[in-house]
Structure 1
Amino acid sequence: MPVLLLVIILGIVEGVTEYLPVSSTGHLILATELLGYKADQWALFNVAIQPGAILAIIVLYWRTFVDVLVGLWQRRPSAFAFVRNLAVAFIPAVVLGLALGDDIELLLGNAVVVAWALIVGGVAILIIERLAKTTDKGGVQNVTLMHSIGIGLVQCLAMVPGVSRSGATILGAMSMGVDRKTAAEFSFFLAVPTLTGATALQLYKHGSTMQPGMGGWILLGSLVSFVVAVVVVKAFVSIIQRYGFAPFAWYRIIAGAVALVWLAAR
């Protein structure tokens, strides 16, 4: 398969899966393997195209970000609470990412780990959907400090490929009583510093080993992921408010099982 086509496909996969509770990293690993390439050789690319998905959130929620900036200037408590919640939720990922970065990278090419994580995560989603009792928080700024810390700790589970950062944060928030919409938006906004930090760290550590021409592929992959993510995020909130997370849970279970069979047979 031509590299150009691979780049476009991986950009689409990133844009579709980054904010859905199905694991973007896991799908990128499986897609790379399925298309005949070695996942570990494309691990840097798969992380480096995340800015496209980050930009999608900034564009879609630009009014929210502007309101927060204006609120900080005007010293509004709600704006400070918004920033505080995201900051404390972001810190655990920074600490563990720096402490366990090398160990985490060893898992980034392991498709078997991804397949099992998809299945286990799907089952967890079904359980939490059934048992969680949530109340409308009315926005990220109204989530408590302790719940924000808890969401940040749960996000660290996504360092295992296949777990899903968005799935961990959304379902973690719901298990603490946060409503679906607020949980999803918390996950979206938390992705901005988290994905930015992960991308910067990987480029700093491995940028010098980048293959010739990879910079251009990264720009193209980021552009594709941006366009696709804009469409997907718009639809996602409507879907979860109407149908919940069960469709994504069953998809994870089926995809993980199929991946295990394929990996065992190849």
Structure 2
Amino acid sequence: MDFPLLLIALILGIVEGLTEFLPISSTGHLIILGDLLGYNDDASKVFKIVIQLAAILAVCWDYRDRLIKVAVDLPRERSAQRFVGLLFVGFLPAAVLGLMFHSVIKGVLFNPITVATALIVGGLIILYVEKRSYHPRVTSVDDLRWSDALKVGFAQALAMIPGTSRSGATIIGGMIFGMSRKTAAEFSFFLAIPTMFAATVYDLYKNGSLLHASDLPVFAVGFVASFFAAMWAVKGFIRFISNHTFVAFAWYRIVFGIVVLATWKLGLVDWSTP
């Protein structure tokens, strides 16, 4: 049993769970920490898929009552049909653009320097949005229009650039398009379900051959850590944004990105690139 590797799996699982649904980029954190901890081989590609799946399952568990109700009502209730339709519309841009550019983006942009730059740029955008006068038009997911879902879907597609943050793009995009913070966050969580499940299935199809039985203990540790960390993070995040802005997340992104770029520029850390 490789205990150092299990510890790395525990750390990365916790980081994935804590950051997946916060506007600070889970993918960016995993790329940077994976590089720093030396866990960026072929097995790590599948590991990151597994812990991402755990995070989305945690959201499904947190919102199980709503999801079960939608599933039961879907054949006959217009509200349930409309809710699923909104998710489908929001899912389409990322699905289409992801299929078109997935390989190019992973091959070129998945490195710590790109991530750090995107973290800083995203943080500055959040600060700009939070300085604007804010009068939300939509205060409930049920009040979303089809055009709202589509615009948030295009915002989500920006998160294909590592370091952007899927949740950050959808939440801040939702706020720009007139949603309240809580509504934007909840729609981001719901939209993550089809988006991340589809991405997981696609990535497993592309990288499934890299999965080996000897890796299962490492994957199991990461999966469990990610699941419980994500459950805690989602509940805490909703409570936090009920009374706070996203400014703290913006500054975290900016400082983290600057630290990575500074250590690279000064030669303190030899960040690897694909």
Task: Name the TM-score, length of structure 1 as normaliser.
Answer: 0.94
Amino acid at match of 2:138: K
* Structure 2 equivalent of residue 196 of structure 1: 197
1:151-188: per-residue Cα shift (whole Å, max 9, x none)? Answer: 00110110011000000000001000011111000000
User: Are positions 1:33 and 2:35 aligned together?
Assistant: yes
* Structure 2 equivalent of residue 89 of structure 1: 90
* Structure 2 equivalent of residue 117 of structure 1: 118
Between the aligned partners of 2:142 and 2:216, the Cα distance in structure 1 is 37
Q: Which moves more between the two structures, 28-37 or 10-19?
A: 28-37
* Structure 2 equivalent of residue 58 of structure 1: 60
* Structure 1 equivalent of residue 136 of structure 2: 135
Q: What's the CA shift for 1:222?
A: 1.5
Amino acid at match of 2:69: D
Between the aligned partners of 2:182 and 2:41, the Cα distance in structure 1 is 34
| Residue segments in structure 2 that go unaligned for 5+ positions in a row | 270-274
Q: What's the CA shift for 1:217?
A: 2.3
User: Are positions 1:70 and 2:85 aligned together?
Assistant: no
Change over 3 Å in CA distance of 1:132–1:194 after alignment to 2: farther
Q: Is the 8 A contact 1:21 1:165 kept in 2?
A: yes
Change over 3 Å in CA distance of 1:50–1:166 after alignment to 2: same
Between the aligned partners of 1:134 and 1:35, the Cα distance in structure 2 is 44
Q: What's the CA shift for 1:33?
A: 1.5
Between the aligned partners of 1:107 and 1:220, the Cα distance in structure 2 is 30
Amino acid at match of 2:58: A
Between the aligned partners of 2:190 and 2:107, the Cα distance in structure 1 is 28
Q: Is the 8 A contact 1:39 1:108 kept in 2?
A: no
Q: Is the 8 A contact 1:166 1:187 kept in 2?
A: yes
Q: Is the 8 A contact 2:123 2:254 kept in 1?
A: yes
Between the aligned partners of 1:87 and 1:132, the Cα distance in structure 2 is 31
Between the aligned partners of 1:198 and 1:132, the Cα distance in structure 2 is 35
1:13-56: per-residue Cα shift (whole Å, max 9, x none)? Answer: 10010000000000001111222333776233212321111111
* Structure 1 equivalent of residue 238 of structure 2: 237
Amino acid at match of 1:54: I
| Residue segments in structure 1 that go unaligned for 5+ positions in a row | none
User: Are positions 1:249 and 2:255 aligned together?
Assistant: no
* Structure 2 equivalent of residue 4 of structure 1: 6
* Structure 2 equivalent of residue 214 of structure 1: 215
Q: Which moves more between the two structures, 208-217 or 49-58?
A: 208-217
Q: Is the 8 A contact 1:89 1:148 kept in 2?
A: yes
Amino acid at match of 1:240: I
Between the aligned partners of 1:216 and 1:134, the Cα distance in structure 2 is 49
Identity score, percent: 46
- Let me know the Cα RMSD of the aligned residues: 1.7
Q: What's the CA shift for 1:69?
A: 2.0
